[in-house]
Chain A
Amino acid sequence: MDTIVSLFLIFIGAALINNFVLHYFVGICPFIGVSRRVDLAFGMGCAVTFVIGIAATLSWTLTFYILRPEAPLSAWLWNSMGADPTTVVDLSILSYIAYIFVIASSVQFVEMYVKKFFPSLHRSFGVFLPLISTNCAILFACLEIMKNLQGGDQLWGLHHALALSLGGGVGFTIAIVIMAGLREELELCDVPKALKGPGIALLVAGILAMAFMGFTGVDRGVADAIRTLTQH
């Protein structure tokens, strides 16, 4: 029960309360660049969610078993080579390089999948699909997972990592679809010339971020409510 509650809280936290785009400022480039049409924005959001899920799984596995200090596989390799068993094997300096390659491979894999099963979607995406590998949101999710695999207590399992990254992807999709809807309306408005395009998009994003700030504290309230309910 406790695990399910904490998974739910991590998911809601990443999707709404600490929305990746509007609170952590990751994934801004596609948020400003791709959000002109709702259908394209929704497709981009789904692609990013898909890639984040795959990248989080791979990077969690890599970090847990190989990269973090005292990781099982690297310690086993070190000992089986006959070296000093008391030294702590710490490969975390290679983390960032490992993550960026994991992300590039995930994007490549998703691109092949989309090309084979949704060729029209692949055509309409064009160059934006490979550009997902420079989307800060995916690397940010990997870094958050790494942060929670460092301390001795409460290491995150694969389920926590997936809850965070899928929550982040869903939050990104929500934000980019809302923004696309707003910008479709803005096309018909009389925007001052200096603010046309990214300028007005940023101002609208600011108001959207203010709205999302209203979600602060929701996770605490929900957790308290669940705790009160399960005590009866």
Chain B
Amino acid sequence: MASSSPSPAERFIAGILPENPIYRQLLGMCPTLAVTNSLKPALTMAAATAFVLLCANISISLIRPLLKPHLRILIFTLTIATFVTIADRVLAAYLYEMSKQLGPYVPLIIVNCIIISRCEACSSKQPLPHAVADAVGMGIGFALALSSLAFVRELLGMGSLFGYQVLPSSWPNWGILVLPPGAFLTLGVLLGAVNAWTARRKARVQSN
């Protein structure tokens, strides 16, 4: 896929689609399914996760030389939990309505596999610029995945985007998409679509 030690630019590009945390790595699906019934909470969640990912990557990359193998998971967890607490408090203070809507899913960022796996795979092994590029790339990829899901669910399920009515009122709202089953169904269909598109691109590249 890449050379033994990917450069910052490679890390950045990889996070957006080739190693997209949701569609390719299938990590962090709990918030993906839970908060994507409309676009506003989806983007707020993506922003909060990107914030925690960036801060955690920077911190771990800075103390990289001091990390010992048997204590590293402990230190990752402590760092991530601290930044998630800060993000949660900031949301409750300045975006109270959205914080109530997101509910328990903001503290669940702590056990979001994306962040621990990035700490383990990248920031504990590579210096600061690589860690920052990786965090930004993964954050953008995560935001794209969440918005694609929320776009479909809100548009077809409520006829609106960001709360503004977009489809005419004659559209029968596909209520199932806003409910829990709709989350599973939409993600399954979108995942299939992404896989089909990637396979077709790979076949076209190979046949050239």
Chain A residues engaging chain B, CB cutoff 8 angstroms: 22-29, 32-33, 93-97, 100-101, 104, 133-136, 139-140, 143-144, 147, 192-195, 198-203, 205-207, 209-210, 213
Contact = CB atoms under 8 A, between A and B. Distances in A.
Contact of B107 (A29, A96, A104): A96
Contact of A139 (B34, B110, B196): B110
A221 B182 CA distance: 26
A100 B112 CA distance: 12
8 closest residue pairs by CB, A with B: A202-B188, A206-B184, A206-B185, A194-B196, A203-B188, A209-B181, A194-B195, A25-B33
8 contacts: A23-B180, A29-B27, A193-B195, A195-B195, A199-B188, A203-B185, A206-B184, A213-B180
Contacts of A203: 184-185, 188-189
Nearest to B183: A25
Secondary structure dominating the interface of B: helix
B29 interface: yes
A200 B188 CA distance: 7
B26 interface: yes
Contact of A26 (B77, B108, B181): B108
Nearest to B176: A210
Contacts of B193: 194
B49 to A, nearest CB: 14
A25 B85 contact: no
B131 to A, nearest CB: 21
Interface in B50-100: 74, 77-78, 81-82, 84-85, 88-89
A97 B78 contact: yes
Contacts of A144: 104
A29 B113 contact: yes
Interface in B148-191: 176, 179-185, 187-189, 191
B34 A24 contact: yes
Contacts of B34: 24-25
Contacts of A136: 30, 108, 111
